[in-house]
Amino acid sequence: MKRAIFPGSFDPITLGHLDIIKRGVTLFDELIIAIGINADKKYMFPLEKRKQFIEETFKNEPKIKVVTYKGLTVNFCKEIDAQFILRGLRNPADFEFEKAIAHTNRKLSEIETVFLLTSSGKSYISSSIVRDVIRNGGDYTGLVPDSVRA
């Protein structure tokens, strides 16, 4: 079984994430959306709400599971027997950042990182931009899935 994780904080999940997940699920037998827990990070949405957004979005997709985890992503991969980490790339800066993480993960384990480029119409969307729009009372509905809009 080809199992991959798509890790992130998903604060909140965006249409950019959705794009990568929908395309990534076709590549694997199971795709686990793994919400990382970082006690040092201040989130806009509580963990359970972020998990609920994702579960609602993918409630009809049997190949997708949503979980939370702490610690190193590669250790979590070993724990759940995931052979791949799926990551989305929006721009060259993302590539450089993700490349360094992928090399480190490869040094620590045998886990492969698979990169997908976001669709051109979604490449500008990030959770930090969405949070800024929300904080400032802007219309974020075209940036997130229905579950976040509700």
Residue 49 belongs to domain with CATH number: 3.40.50.620
Say what the pLDDT of residue 39 is: 79
Say what the pLDDT of residue 41 is: 87
Q: Is 22 a catalytic residue?
A: no
Say what the pLDDT of residue 135 is: 95
Q: Which domain holds residue 96?
A: 3-149
pTM to 2 decimal places: 0.94
Q: Per residue of the chain (150 residues), what is the pLDDT tens digit?
A: 999 999 999 999 999 999 999 999 999 999 999 999 987 889 999 999 999 999 999 999 999 999 999 999 999 999 999 999 999 999 898 899 999 999 999 999 989 999 999 998 998 999 999 999 999 999 999 999 999 987
Q: Is 17 a catalytic residue?
A: yes
Distance, CA of 64 to CA of 112 (rounded, Å): 19
Annotated catalytic residue, options 90, 99, 106, 131 = 90
Annotated catalytic residue, options 41, 42, 107, 120 = 41
Annotated catalytic residue, options 17, 51, 87, 122 = 17
Annotated catalytic residue, options 50, 87, 122, 127 = 127
Q: How many independent structural domains does the chain possess? A: 1
